[in-house]
């Protein structure tokens, strides 16, 4: 009997879905209620479970868009029965059962799901498998890294046993989604004798175990396949050094594209003459290759939030310029003594953070935020620092910056920036913040209009320092100048407050001794 499985109704306003990923292959045996694929709509991702036990026959492929009620697959329920009936009845245990008992397998399969990693996090992306499919893993051993829109987390094994991948690198999974399975074993890893027996029995007669080929032979891991695709190298031309000949990431990185073979002109002299007489093909300079990469969870979330801020706030930007000469002179005078005493460099960030904290306390609306029909005024200054990390922009927070010294601010900036570049920031270190500083000047930016970091109401953009001729007391002088840009939410901050705030920051930076006396 064949059971047709159709796309279920997943919501009142949803009329079609897209097949995101098949967890089972065509012809695989599936069990009732087992998750076989993932369906994506314009609002959410859903799991499709088997409605019966049997052999799966796939009718729609990954990426296909189907209407509600369309056939997605067929389950042949009789195929399972016929397969079980055709097995010879034998009271003696089979070879696989003997191997299972010798290898310490208990028959229990531990399903590992994506854990809850934060209140506001609903999905994660599988970044890297640290253990290969089929590897033996131990309890609490780190087997994979997963990325959320805020941080990277390590996934530890929940049992001792053989790891079976369900999700692949780059897949996006919802919290609670199946990520892998572990065939639980007792007494540690399978013995070498059992492994040798399995290898010998599976290899053809007369062939050594080193010559054995499996489905993994010549197969590239997801990370290796991506590198090979970028290099334009066929996996068939790469020798794998991984388990059973699998092509690892290291193999892909070392692989080089084969040079084209030289034409054999000596074998066919007549053909070579005709080729010489023909007009040569025009040479095309440059490459026209292109590639597609799935957006990371962090990039998708940043994109969604930036668009939401543009649509939901009355954002406006005001500008001013600052003479950085006094701060540069002060740094030049004291930077060596500062580093010798505190063990950290004296940078510009501590001056800007202190100046911003003073101005925020004088103009509290810039440090406030809207919550429904209420305005929340903060008496503290939690300053968010925008940092460009390998996986995208992150914004760690310096807590109570108003009460910190120059030394404490510089050390905290270094600590947070280092953790950001190593993808080690925790959720707590990126949560909150009442005002944001972003420094595009380190990349050479002269002017920009930064976007507010919601739910905050303002952000200050710093830019590069350029020597420009300026009029000072009727004379032209060359001064190191920086443009400052304050983007703010006009719903809560008026023009008087935004401009006055920026003028106050300019005043404090052009005469940094004011920071010492609070004037």
The continuous run of DSSP H or E covering 65 comes out as strand 65-67
- CA 373/CA 376 separation, integer angstroms: 10
Contacts 24+ apart (CB under 8 A), 508-517: 508/354, 508/355, 508/358, 508/359, 509/322, 509/324, 509/326, 509/327, 509/351, 509/352, 509/355, 510/322, 510/323, 510/326, 511/326, 512/326, 512/327, 512/330, 512/351, 512/355, 515/351, 515/354, 515/355, 515/358
User: Which residues fall within 8 angstroms of residue 341, CB to CB, at 6 or more apart?
Assistant: none
For 266, 468, 482, 508, 509, the CA distances from 472, given in Å and listed in that order, are 81, 12, 16, 18, 17
Tokens of 264: 């054999």
Tokens of 497: 């407050």
Burial group, residue 102, by CB count within 10 angstroms (0-12, 13-18, 19+): middle
Taking phi over 0 as left and psi of -120 to 50 as alpha, with beta for the rest, 245 belongs to: left
- CA 171/CA 25 separation, integer angstroms: 17
Q: Mark whether 494 is an active-site residue.
A: yes
The continuous run of DSSP H or E covering 513 comes out as helix 513-517
DSSP string, 371-402: ETTEEE--SS--EEE-EEETTEEE--EETTGG
User: Which residues fall within 8 angstroms of residue 491, CB to CB, at 6 or more apart?
Assistant: 313, 314, 370
Beta strands 161-165 and 315-323: pairing type? unpaired
- CA 436/CA 459 separation, integer angstroms: 5
For 11, 32, 204, 240, 256, the CA distances from 244, given in Å and listed in that order, are 46, 32, 15, 8, 22
Q: Is 162 in a helix, a strand, or coil?
A: strand
Report H helices in 30-142: 77-85, 95-103
- CA 44/CA 38 separation, integer angstroms: 11
Q: Mark whether 490 is an active-site residue.
A: yes
Q: Rg for the chain (alpha carbons), in Å? A: 31
Which of 26, 42, 490, 511 does the annotation list as catalytic? 490
Q: Nearest 5 degrees, angle CA 413-CA 418-CA 420? A: 95
- Could you list the active site residues? 490, 494
């Amino acid at each position: 009997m064949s059971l047709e499985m159709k796309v279920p109704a997943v919501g009142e306003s949803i009329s079609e879905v897209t097949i995101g990923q098949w967890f089972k292959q065509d012809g695989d045996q599936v069990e009732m209620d087992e998750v076989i694929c993932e369906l994506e709509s314009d609002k959410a991702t859903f799991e499709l479970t088997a409605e019966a036990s049997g052999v799966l026959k796939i009718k729609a492929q990954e990426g296909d868009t189907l209407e509600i009620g369309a056939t997605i697959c067929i389950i042949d329920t009789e195929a399972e029965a016929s397969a079980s009936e055709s097995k010879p009845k034998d009271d003696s245990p089979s070879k696989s059962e003997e191997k299972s008992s010798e290898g310490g397998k208990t028959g229990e399969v531990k399903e590992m799901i994506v854990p809850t990693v934060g209140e506001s996090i609903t999905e994660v992306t599988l970044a890297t498998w640290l253990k290969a499919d089929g590897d033996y893993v131990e309890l609490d051993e780190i087997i994979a890294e997963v990325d959320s829109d805020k941080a990277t987390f390590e996934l530890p094994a929940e049992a001792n046993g053989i790891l079976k991948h369900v999700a692949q690198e780059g897949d996006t999974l919802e919290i609670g989604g199946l990520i892998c399975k572990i065939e639980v074993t007792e007494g540690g890893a399978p013995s070498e004798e059992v492994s040798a027996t399995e290898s010998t029995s599976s290899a053809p007669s007369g062939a050594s175990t080193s010559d054995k080929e499996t489905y993994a032979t010549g197969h590239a891991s997801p990370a290796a396949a991506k590198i090979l695709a970028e290099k334009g190298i066929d996996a068939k031309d790469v020798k794998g050094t991984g388990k059973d000949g699998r092509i690892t990431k290291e193999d892909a990185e070392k692989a080089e594209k084969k040079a084209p073979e030289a034409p054999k002109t000596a074998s066919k002299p007549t053909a070579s003459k005709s080729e010489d007489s023909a007009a040569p093909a025009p040479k095309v300079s440059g490459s026209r290759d292109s590639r597609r990469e799935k957006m990371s969870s962090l990039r998708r979330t940043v994109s969604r939030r930036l668009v939401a801020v543009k649509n939901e706030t009355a954002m406006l930007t005001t500008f001013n310029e600052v003479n950085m000469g006094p701060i540069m002179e002060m740094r030049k005078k004291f930077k060596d003594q500062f580093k010798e005493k505190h063990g950290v460099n004296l940078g510009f960030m501590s001056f800007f953070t202190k100046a911003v904290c003073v101005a925020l306390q004088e103009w509290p609306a810039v440090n406030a935020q809207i919550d429904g029909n209420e305005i929340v005024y903060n008496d503290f200054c939690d300053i968010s620092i925008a940092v460009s990390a390998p996986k995208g922009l992150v914004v760690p927070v310096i807590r109570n910056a108003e009460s910190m010294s120059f030394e404490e601010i510089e050390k905290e900036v270094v600590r947070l920036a280092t953790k950001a570049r190593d993808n080690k920031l925790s959720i707590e270190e990126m949560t909150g913040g009442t005002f944001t500083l972003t420094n595009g000047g380190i990349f050479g930016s002269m002017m920009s209009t930064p976007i507010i970091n919601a739910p905050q109401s303002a952000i200050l953009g710093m830019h590069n320092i350029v020597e420009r001729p300026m009029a000072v007391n009727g004379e032209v002088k060359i001064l190191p100048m920086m443009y400052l840009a304050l983007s703010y939410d006009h719903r809560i901050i008026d023009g008087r407050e935004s401009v006055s705030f920026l003028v106050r920051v300019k005043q404090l930076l052009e005469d940094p001794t004011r920071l010492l006396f609070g004037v």
